Amino acid sequence: MKNILLIGLGRFGRHIAEELFKLDHRIMAVDCDEARVNAVLNFVTNAQIGDSTDKAFLSSLGVDNYDAAIVAIGDHFQSSLETTSLLKELGAQHVIARAATDVHEKFLLRNGADEVVYPEKELAKWTAVKCSSQNILDFIPIDGEISILETKVPENWLGKSIIDLDIRKKYGVNVLGIKKNGTIELGINPETALDGNMSLYVAGNIKAIKKCLHF
d(CA 121, CA 123): 5
- The mean pLDDT value for 170-192 works out to 89
Q: Provide the 3-class DSSP secondary structure of residue 99.
A: coil
Buried b (16+ CB within 10 A) or exposed e, 75-105: eebebbbbbbbbbbeeebbbbbbbbbeeebb
- The mean pLDDT value for 6-31 works out to 96
pLDDT confidence band for 37 (50 / 70 / 90)? very high
> Domains along the chain?
3-117 (3.40.50.720), 122-213 (3.30.70.1450)
CB 74 within 8 A of CB 12: yes
Spacing of C-alpha 210 from chain mean position: 22
Q: What is the pLDDT of residues 75-126, one digit of tens each?
A: 899 999 999 999 999 999 999 999 988 899 999 999 999 999 988 888 887 8
The residue count for the chain: 215
pLDDT confidence band for 176 (50 / 70 / 90)? very high
pLDDT of residue 89: 96
- The mean pLDDT value for 59-78 works out to 95
pLDDT of residue 23: 92
Q: Report phi then psi at 60, rounded to 5.
A: -65, -15
pLDDT of residue 121: 80
